[in-house]
Amino acid sequence: MTSPPPNWTLERRIPSDPDVCAKVIEPLVDALENFGWAAREVFGIRMAMEEAIVNAIRHGNQCSPNKSVQIAIKVDDQEFLATITDQGDGFDPKQVPDPTDDENLECDSGRGLVLIKNYADEVTYNQSGNSVTLKKSKP
Amino acid sequence: MDQYECIETDKVEDVAVVKFVDERMMDAARIEQLGGELMDAVSGDDKDRVVINFENVSFFSSAAVSKLLVAEKRIRSQGGQLRLSNLRPEVRDVFNLTKLDSVFKIEEEQSDAIESLQ
């Protein structure tokens, strides 16, 4: 009997097309399930990844067909780690209005960042703000 | 628009009921289409009471939430009322985390939502 691989990794460069998201997220979900992550945790990671990739494509690369998004993911039975890097100018997450403030509740922007922050244990941006790393430990 | 691809519509006790066809609201083009269909389905003087039933939905992204907000504004501008129902706990979390549970009135079951509109 062969033992399962110690981790699952994926490195992919995708075009600036939000519809390509599923091609990264579906195998990630399969990997999380194979490593025994609970459905609720898988939901949260799927949500954080979808929002981070869509942000990179829409806000980072402005959906430019000349730009791509680099995605690196590592999953095992203890931890999920992913870095999403776009080719845009970057942004300062502190400057994005908080969509959970009463006056911003019905605004369109920033809701994805709130979801990412809530579903990942750690969210870190690089200095230029065009790369985000998400980390979550299995409870 | 009479035929929809992303939603199913019904009328129960004079309340318009909308259900989503897709289990996962992820695909960007599909979410755009959903937004257009939702707006069409909730627009009109006879759409003063609307329930959106989430029983089929296991994943709902922030982009899909934005479409829902636009539909809610349309219903409100017509003097109508909207209720959401049958949200799975993880989908409900999306509304709680973004504090949109204070914008949308959420009921457990469709029957509760319809009753609250009577």
Residue A66's CB: how many other CB atoms inside 10 A? 8
C-alpha closest to that of A58 among B86, B83, B32:
B32
Confidence at A2, pLDDT banded by 50, 70, 90:
low
A116 three-class SS:
helix
Domain that holds residue A52: 8-137
Q: For A95-122, what is each residue's pLDDT tens digit?
A: 888 889 988 888 777 899 999 999 999 9
Residue A20 pLDDT? 84
Tokens at B59, concatenated: 């994943």
Confidence at B2, pLDDT banded by 50, 70, 90:
low
Taking a C-beta distance cutoff of 8 angstroms, is the pair A105, A117 a contact?
Answer: no
**Amino acid at the residue A41:** E
Q: What is the mean pLDDT of residues A131-136?
A: 98
Inter-chain CB proximity A115 and B97 less than 8 Å? yes
Q: For B14-73, what is each residue's pLDDT tens digit?
A: 999 999 998 887 778 888 999 999 999 999 877 889 999 999 899 888 889 999 999 999
Residue A1 pLDDT? 62
Task: Locate the chain A residue with the closest alpha carbon to B101.
Answer: A105
Taking a C-beta distance cutoff of 8 angstroms, is the pair A111, B65 a contact?
Answer: yes
**Of chain A residues 110-129, which have a CB less than 8 A from chain B?**
111-112, 114-115, 118
- The alpha carbon of residue A11 is apart from the nearest alpha carbon of chain B, in Å, by 21
Residues of B in contact with A39 (CB under 8 A): 90
A25–chain B Cβ distance below 8 A for any pair: yes
H, E, C per residue of B32-53: HHHHHHHHHHHCCCCCCEEEEE
B61–chain A Cβ distance below 8 A for any pair: yes
Would A86 be classed as within a structural domain? yes
DSSP code of residue A11 = E
Inter-chain CB proximity A105 and B66 less than 8 Å? no
Domain of residue A109, CATH code: 3.30.565.10
Beta strands B105-107 and A79-85, pairing class: unpaired
Q: For B4-17, what is each residue's pLDDT tens digit?
A: 999 999 999 999 99
Q: Residue A60: how many CA atoms within 13 Å on its side-chain side? A: 29
**How many independent structural domains does chain A possess?**
1
Please, what's the b/e burial string for B22-59 (b: 16 or more CB within 10 A of its CB; e: otherwise)?
bebbbbbebbebbbebbebbbeeeebbbbbbbbeebeb
Which of A2-11, A38-47, B60-69, B86-95 has the least mean pLDDT? A2-11
The reply to whether CATH 3.30.750.24 applies to domain B7-116 is: yes
CB contacts < 8 Å between A and B, how many?
Answer: 53
Mean pLDDT of chain A: 92
- Tell me the torsion sign for CA atoms A120, A86, B22, B84: positive
Phi/psi zone of residue A110: left (φ > 0), alpha (ψ -120 to 50 degrees), beta?
left
C-alpha closest to that of A61 among A71, A75, A72:
A71
Residue A109 pLDDT? 75
Would A79 be classed as within a structural domain? yes
Q: For A65-88, what is each residue's pLDDT tens digit?
A: 999 999 999 999 999 999 999 999
Residue B26 pLDDT? 74
The string of DSSP letters for B53-112 reads E-TT-SEE-HHHHHHHHHHHHHHHHTT-EEEEE---HHHHHHHHHTTGGGTSEEESSHHH
Residues of A in contact with B94 (CB under 8 A): 47, 115
Confidence at A49, pLDDT banded by 50, 70, 90:
very high
Confidence at A25, pLDDT banded by 50, 70, 90:
very high
Cα dist. B103→A37, A115, B78 in Å?
Answer: 32, 17, 16
Would A45 be classed as within a structural domain? yes
Residue B47 pLDDT? 81
Tell me how far apart the terminal alpha carbons of chain B are, to the nearest angstrom.
27
Would A60 be classed as within a structural domain? yes
C-alpha closest to that of B86 among B95, B78, B97, B74:
B95
- The residue that leads in pLDDT, A17 or A117, is A117
